[in-house]
Amino acid sequence: MDWNIVKTSGTCGRCEKSIREEEIIYSCLFLDNTSFSRTDFCEDCWNNNAGIPFFSFWKTRIPKKDESKKKVVDNAAIFNLFLRLGDNEKYRDEPWAKNMRYVLALFLMRKKLLKLQNQGTDDMGDFMEFYSTEDDKLFKIHNPKLSEEEVTKLNDEILKLFDPAHVSQSALLELAQDSAAT
């Protein structure tokens, strides 16, 4: 899958108003047949344009330039993307979606939003079953047998989607490397 990740331009994707430090923005992921892209919207445009056809979104704040870079990823946004990838009939069986969902599941397990309930093998290969107390649901995720390089690349791509400043982070990578052998 191609990734169309554009650094925050400092302007709203709709009205092109300049976005200031510490301003609240809404970051949206858009999905077409071949790519994810990210666009940021100021709060006014978000509140006045309910028809934005996003795949997933999260609310965030533009950090101060001199603010220390925190290694934080919005757990709710990650969980939402995990759910949306599994619910979307058009994409859920695509290899890129399975790979992303696997890495997201590992991250969510580390953050204790998913609990490992069971592991096993079926006709599709090795799998893990995760339980979500928030949704009271069980999710069966097959291990796509990603190499360390593939996990690293996918991790970096996910972080670029979710980090408004596009700062390099390792929160997902650490977990994925620890769990890739399962």
Single out the residue of 106, 92, 91 nearest to residue 151, CA to CA: 106
Residue type, 171: A
Residue type, 48: N
Single out the residue of 89, 83, 137 nearest to residue 105, CA to CA: 83
Per-residue model confidence (pLDDT) at position 2: 47
Neighbours of 156 (CB within 10 A): 17
Structure-block tokens of residue 137? 């649901």
d(CA 76, CA 179): 21
- CB burial of 73-85 (b: ≥16 within 10 Å; e: otherwise) equals bbeebbbbbbbbb
Tell me: the pLDDT tens digits for 145-174?
988 778 778 877 887 777 655 433 333 333
Q: Residue 99 sits in which domain range?
A: 2-179
Which residues of the chain fall below pLDDT 50?
1-2, 166-182
Per-residue model confidence (pLDDT) at position 110: 80
Per-residue model confidence (pLDDT) at position 129: 94
DSSP state letter for 10: S
Bridge-based pairing state of the strands 2-4 and 35-42: parallel
What burial class does residue 95 get, using C-beta atoms within 10 Å of its C-beta: 0-12 exposed, 13-18 middle, 19+ buried? exposed
State how many domains the chain has. 1
